[in-house]
Structure 1
Amino acid sequence: MDFDKILTHLGDFGRYQKFLYFLVCLPAVFTGIFAVISAIILATPDHRCKIPGYENDTYSIQSDRHREVISNYIPPPAANSHLYDQCHTYSFNHSSVMFDTLGRPINGSTVKCDEWVYSYSVFKQTFTSKFNLVCSNSYKTSLAKSSYFVGIFVGAMVFGNLSDAIGRKTVFCISVAIQFVATVTLAWAPNTIVMYIYLYDPDRALVGRNVYCCIRLELVGPSKRIYTGIVVDYFFAVGLVLLSGVAYLVRHWKYIDLMCALPIGLFLFYWWILPESPRWLISKKRYKEAKAILLRAAKYNNVVVSEYLFSQDIPVQLPQKDEKYGRLWHLFTTKVLLTRTLVIFFNWGVVNMVYYGLSLNSGNLEGNYYLNFLLSGLVEFPAYTLTLLLLDRLGRKWLYIICMILGGVSCISTIFTILYLEERYQPVTIALAMLGKLGAAGAFGIIYTYSAELFPTVVRNAGMGASSCISRIGAIAAPYIADSGNYIGGSTGKAFPLAVFGSLSILAGLLSLHLPETMGQELPETIEDGIQFGTPTYKSKADANTKTYMNSTYVSTDACPLETDSQSLSE
């Protein structure tokens, strides 16, 4: 009997698994928070150069005299998106200067400034305003935002392998301790270099998607894996909603960080609550511990388990690694597999880029900063709900394509609302941007299932691991695209990021037309199956008793490979 059949006997998703599933989903709330917290703590408030010689200068106008002095020293903006030029002051000779009717020097030149004053209408303080990461230093905010995703990229590889070596629970708790220290200490970061390091912290990969993907895969039975893989995204969205509320109430980057970081310490108690993965224990020949966990699951699920289930005559089979096991390069050996693999990789990069990019870009939209951020999180709930309802009705392929093209068209449509409609119509822009986020979130939930089903079993781990790496590259690029509008300026700058995200989404959706549908199909096992998959030849040779597609073979994108073992749990 294989391990999945034991889980089915115990209950694919009984009370015990539901309890553990809830526990391992809770970290996803903080994954959601820290994935986009940089949009809050690194936000750039309205600002202008500080007037030379006026120590009590503020962004808000104090009096008519203050207004006059500002006109004397601060040039008008190059575009209408700001009240003032944000990076220059007038330089003039006081003895010979002449002013126009607006109080601006006629014969003065402009120079770059090195001190600024900031508006407090949205934030009391951000890391950007504290360390003056504006004008020539504005690129540092994009660099800091992308450092988070670089950390995820590294962490997924390093800690994924480490969890295979010393255990899921052990690495998780070590990761929690390190991340707790890093995120709390971030509040006292003395400079941007330290900020990069703390945001880079690769342990987030373990506290986030890696752990709950592995444990969900290894404790939830075959029939429920697809749906539990999507439901966990609701917790991610909860994190976005909570962050918007905390940011609105607190409005100071240091205290926002602390309020979001301190609860992470509670996950250290998982050491006494969360069991080790029985699959991992079996792979390490720790059969008695694995058996104890499975018997505990049976007890909580009110399932009577016979010792015969664990007898010597019924060995527990884990996925086999034999000499025919595929390698990643096998996906590039034929035109069919090469095309399919490149399309999958491109879609992974685009989905992550657009999803995170639209989240980070919500603060650049017109209207209330916090409301836009809140809406960006709320739209994910209907996205995941529709995915759950339609995934087995419309199929993976067409539901994914609809999400990508719908989201892409919505984003591109904002070009016209931003450039050609009056400001009072900007709620239409916000609605279109949120529709784009809904499409990206839906595609984000689907691509995990769809791409895992497309890769042949012999290279599924390798294919999903490579896809995950490509997705991180897309996420790393997202902050630069989202912030590009600040460099371009004006209405064109506001429309540019959305146009890029929309164009790439449509392109990715159209390329997906080359992918076969997987719903209701026997999944490819070998490289030869992968080549023929989706053709009449493959369908004609498929067995009548098709396997439970996907569910029995689904793997985490962060890869949770297990060693082969076929010994009994009765030891």
Structure 2
Amino acid sequence: MGFEDALQRVGSDGLYQRAFTIFGAFACIVPLMQNLASIFTLKMYPMKCNYGNGTLVDDENYCDNCPSFYESVPEVEGSYTIRNHFNLFCEREYLGELGNTFFFIGLACAGAVGGVFADHYGRKPLGLFSTSLMTVCAIAAPFMPNFWLYTVCRTGVGLGIPGLYNGLFTLLFETLDTEKRSSYYILIIQGWSSGVLFTALFGYLFPSFIYYEVAMGIGTIPVVLVTLILPESPRWLWVMGKRKAAMRSLNKIAKWNRNEPIGMSELATLMGMEEDNRRSKRVKAEDAVSEAQRKPKESAGITELFKHKYILMATVVTWFNWFSVTMCYYGWSLMVGDVGGSVYENLIYGGAMEIGGRFVVLFVADKVGRRPFAIFLTWTVTVCCGVAAALVAMGKEGSTALMVVGMLGRSFISWSWDILGLIMAEYPPTPVRVIISGTTSTWSRIGGIVSAQFTTIGRWNTNAPHFLIMAITFVAGLSCFIYPETQGLTLSDSMLEADTYIRDNFGCCRGNQSEEKDAEVSMRQLEQRENEDC
């Protein structure tokens, strides 16, 4: 961490970081609302066929009996969805879900390239471009003259969301004190859960999809304006050789944190002192450690995954699990109006449960371990979905019991997301940690694409989405046994060490191992590295 001394000098846990965290939490709200927007914008209202007398058709076979022109009758005064606007009924009904699928395709595509863009052109340009794209496309979408141009705009919104995280959040984390990053992560992710509450609020205040989508676009404007005044990551600027720009960025942070500005000579001295300190520590370490511990760094590359089968197994499980939880979370969220009760109440209660429960979940995970808790959470979702399917089969679609089970199931999915995120950050070795994170993000977006079809599947069979969630969360829970227990695990810099650790912790919880077993594993790893060096 070649920039830690300079960050400490200007402040790495001060007013700037705290204000940025509040801003980051706020920036999470609209992206989550965009993900769940189809709950309201694709809502189906009763129809009126153009028979000339305005007769309201209640016949289930109205698509076969009505003329070619349809007009929706809103059940609430002022309600208006894209189904009304673009005539998405009967043979055109599938287009609504198809358009939502393109939104998630935009998420997947941008997630794959956003990190590369940020590494080459900076964190701030990516964040500014992405939030601007979200704003323009969100405001323009409801005014498009046809459905396909509307879908293009929605895809543009999807393209902008991953860039917000890859750009702005990386920009924040690169200016934080190392020990504070977990706490800031918890606070920022609460903004994401708060987006569920705002989804319900906006759906209630703006029953017309035109005002609803324009309001979301306007809500992104403050994010764009704040991004304009943010300093670029001084760490990235320094690595790219832009020394003066890095100094100016540091001085902006120092001003926010009420510290004295730093000059180029002082900055160079701090960097030189730290380099001298690292060199001194390295020389001492070379006199004190074995040859195995001085093994050169391994090169990064996705091919490294395929050279170490246990890391690869854990990574495939990670891809599958993130695909699964994303598909189930958004799929169940998009069905929120079908689980009984008021859609507004379901979102509010569910969002509140996610926010409050997240602190408890992270606390418990630190006590019982990541892996057993991840298994418990995913299998609890399986049970909740089984109960929901039974209630639907008993004809209790609108019951309070189904509403409660639905909220619990979605909350447990959200919490399992948090624990799986911790595991993903902790088990990979340094040479492939970023690669695993990036590829996992892409698989997560693919899960979002599938989730857009849950309402279509539900029309085919009311319980089909429940059966799908039951099956995939049960398999996800089983797959978690492949993970090593990562609670309290020191991050590894060695592919061999990480691969050996996963192998030796396969199929049982690390908490059941004795300290002697841990010491034996560590000794075997060290001996293996020494033999390779010889």
CA distance in 1, matches of 2:188, 2:81: 31
CA distance in 1, matches of 2:72, 2:409: 31
Please report how far the alpha carbon of residue 472 of structure 1 lies from its aligned counterpart in structure 2 after TM superposition: 1.0
Matches for 1:433-472 after TM superposition, within 5 Å = 433-472=406-445
Counterpart pick for 1:223 among 179, 182, 186: 179
Q: Could you give the per-residue CA deviations for residues 77-112 of structure 1, whole angstroms, max 9, x where no partner exists? A: 3xxxxxxx34222xxxxxxxxxxxxxxxxxxxxxx6
Q: SS state of the match for residue 161, structure 1?
A: helix
Please report how far the alpha carbon of residue 301 of structure 1 lies from its aligned counterpart in structure 2 after TM superposition: 4.1
Matches for 1:247-286 after TM superposition, within 5 Å = 247-286=203-242
> Are the aligned partners of 1:24 and 1:215 in contact in 2 as well (CA < 8 Å)?
no
Please report how far the alpha carbon of residue 381 of structure 1 lies from its aligned counterpart in structure 2 after TM superposition: 0.9
Counterpart pick for 1:374 among 324, 348, 352: 348
Q: Which has the larger radius of gyration?
A: 1
Tell me the equivalent position of 1:177.
132
Q: SS state of the match for residue 114, structure 1?
A: coil
CA distance in 1, matches of 2:434, 2:260: 34
Q: Normalising by the residue count of structure 1, what TM-score does the alignment of the two structures yield? A: 0.79
Please report how far the alpha carbon of residue 474 of structure 1 lies from its aligned counterpart in structure 2 after TM superposition: 0.8
> Are the aligned partners of 2:424 and 2:437 in contact in 1 as well (CA < 8 Å)?
yes
Please report how far the alpha carbon of residue 113 of structure 1 lies from its aligned counterpart in structure 2 after TM superposition: 4.3
Q: SS state of the match for residue 477, structure 2?
A: helix
CA distance in 2, matches of 1:171, 1:423: 45
Please report how far the alpha carbon of residue 217 of structure 1 lies from its aligned counterpart in structure 2 after TM superposition: 2.4
Tell me the equivalent position of 2:487.
519
Tell me the equivalent position of 2:101.
146
CA distance in 1, matches of 2:192, 2:397: 33
Q: SS state of the match for residue 393, structure 1?
A: helix
Please report how far the alpha carbon of residue 476 of structure 1 lies from its aligned counterpart in structure 2 after TM superposition: 0.5
Q: SS state of the match for residue 392, structure 1?
A: helix
Q: Could you give the per-residue CA deviations for residues 155-205 of structure 1, whole angstroms, max 9, x where no partner exists? A: 123333222222211232223322222111112022221122111115423
> Are the aligned partners of 1:226 and 1:449 in contact in 2 as well (CA < 8 Å)?
no
Tell me the equivalent position of 1:88.
64
Matches for 1:202-351 after TM superposition, within 5 Å = 202-206=158-162, 208-298=164-254, 300-301=256-257, 307=266, 310-315=270-275, 324-351=298-325
Q: Which amino acid aligns with 2:379?
A: I
Q: Which runs of 5+ in 1 are unaligned?
A: 60-69, 78-84, 90-111, 544-571
Q: SS state of the match for residue 368, structure 2?
A: coil
Q: SS state of the match for residue 251, structure 1?
A: coil
Q: Which amino acid aligns with 1:133?
A: L
Tell me the equivalent position of 1:100.
none
Structure with greater helix share of residues: 2
Q: Which amino acid aligns with 2:469?
A: F
CA distance in 2, matches of 1:134, 1:487: 16
Please report how far the alpha carbon of residue 390 of structure 1 lies from its aligned counterpart in structure 2 after TM superposition: 2.5
**More moved, 369-378 vs 533-542:** 533-542
Does 1:133 pair with 2:88?
A: yes
Q: Which amino acid aligns with 1:352?
A: T
Please report how far the alpha carbon of residue 334 of structure 1 lies from its aligned counterpart in structure 2 after TM superposition: 4.1
Q: Could you give the per-residue CA deviations for residues 208-258 of structure 1, whole angstroms, max 9, x where no partner exists? A: 322333123211221122232232221112222112112112210101111
CA distance in 2, matches of 1:505, 1:245: 30
Matches for 1:154-193 after TM superposition, within 5 Å = 154-193=109-148
Please report how far the alpha carbon of residue 8 of structure 1 lies from its aligned counterpart in structure 2 after TM superposition: 5.5
Q: Normalising by the residue count of structure 2, what TM-score does the alignment of the two structures yield? A: 0.84
Q: Which amino acid aligns with 2:466?
A: L
> Are the aligned partners of 1:10 and 1:297 in contact in 2 as well (CA < 8 Å)?
yes
Does 1:352 pair with 2:351?
A: no
Specify whether residues 6 and 52 from structure 1 end up closer, same or farther in structure 2 by C-alpha distance, changes over 3 A only.
same
Please report how far the alpha carbon of residue 295 of structure 1 lies from its aligned counterpart in structure 2 after TM superposition: 4.6
> Are the aligned partners of 1:25 and 1:235 in contact in 2 as well (CA < 8 Å)?
yes
Specify whether residues 373 and 532 from structure 1 end up closer, same or farther in structure 2 by C-alpha distance, changes over 3 A only.
same
Q: Which amino acid aligns with 1:528?
A: L
**More moved, 527-536 vs 499-508:** 527-536
Q: Which amino acid aligns with 2:221?
A: G
Does 1:120 pair with 2:63?
A: no
Q: Which runs of 5+ in 2 are unaligned?
A: 279-295, 506-516, 524-534
> Are the aligned partners of 2:429 and 2:493 in contact in 1 as well (CA < 8 Å)?
yes
> Are the aligned partners of 1:32 and 1:236 in contact in 2 as well (CA < 8 Å)?
yes
Q: SS state of the match for residue 219, structure 1?
A: coil
Specify whether residues 383 and 183 from structure 1 end up closer, same or farther in structure 2 by C-alpha distance, changes over 3 A only.
same
Tell me the equivalent position of 1:554.
none
Specify whether residues 222 and 323 from structure 1 end up closer, same or farther in structure 2 by C-alpha distance, changes over 3 A only.
closer
> Are the aligned partners of 2:429 and 2:492 in contact in 1 as well (CA < 8 Å)?
yes
CA distance in 2, matches of 1:222, 1:449: 16
Specify whether residues 172 and 326 from structure 1 end up closer, same or farther in structure 2 by C-alpha distance, changes over 3 A only.
closer
CA distance in 2, matches of 1:389, 1:303: 35
Tell me the equivalent position of 1:484.
457
Q: Could you give the per-residue CA deviations for residues 421-445 of structure 1, whole angstroms, max 9, x where no partner exists? A: 5467x11111111111111111222
**More moved, 261-270 vs 180-189:** 261-270
Q: SS state of the match for residue 525, structure 1?
A: coil
Q: Which amino acid aligns with 2:363?
A: L
Q: Could you give the per-residue CA deviations for residues 53-100 of structure 1, whole angstroms, max 9, x where no partner exists? A: 32x33x4xxxxxxxxxx6xxx64x3xxxxxxx34222xxxxxxxxxxx
Specify whether residues 421 and 272 from structure 1 end up closer, same or farther in structure 2 by C-alpha distance, changes over 3 A only.
closer
Q: SS state of the match for residue 379, structure 1?
A: helix
Matched length? 487
Tell me the equivalent position of 1:419.
393
> Are the aligned partners of 2:139 and 2:213 in contact in 1 as well (CA < 8 Å)?
yes
CA distance in 2, matches of 1:10, 1:401: 43
CA distance in 2, matches of 1:323, 1:381: 40
CA distance in 1, matches of 2:469, 2:272: 56
Q: Could you give the per-residue CA deviations for residues 472-517 of structure 1, whole angstroms, max 9, x where no partner exists? A: 11111001124311233xxxx1x22123123211220121022111
Please report how far the alpha carbon of residue 459 of structure 1 lies from its aligned counterpart in structure 2 after TM superposition: 0.7
Specify whether residues 292 and 486 from structure 1 end up closer, same or farther in structure 2 by C-alpha distance, changes over 3 A only.
same
Please report how far the alpha carbon of residue 4 of structure 1 lies from its aligned counterpart in structure 2 after TM superposition: 4.0
CA distance in 2, matches of 1:331, 1:421: 49
Specify whether residues 406 and 386 from structure 1 end up closer, same or farther in structure 2 by C-alpha distance, changes over 3 A only.
same
CA distance in 2, matches of 1:43, 1:539: 59
Please report how far the alpha carbon of residue 352 of structure 1 lies from its aligned counterpart in structure 2 after TM superposition: 0.8
**More moved, 451-460 vs 384-393:** 384-393
Percent identity over paired residues: 23
Q: Which amino acid aligns with 1:458?
A: P
> Are the aligned partners of 1:30 and 1:260 in contact in 2 as well (CA < 8 Å)?
yes
Tell me the equivalent position of 2:25.
25
Root mean square deviation, CA, Å: 2.7
Tell me the equivalent position of 1:531.
499
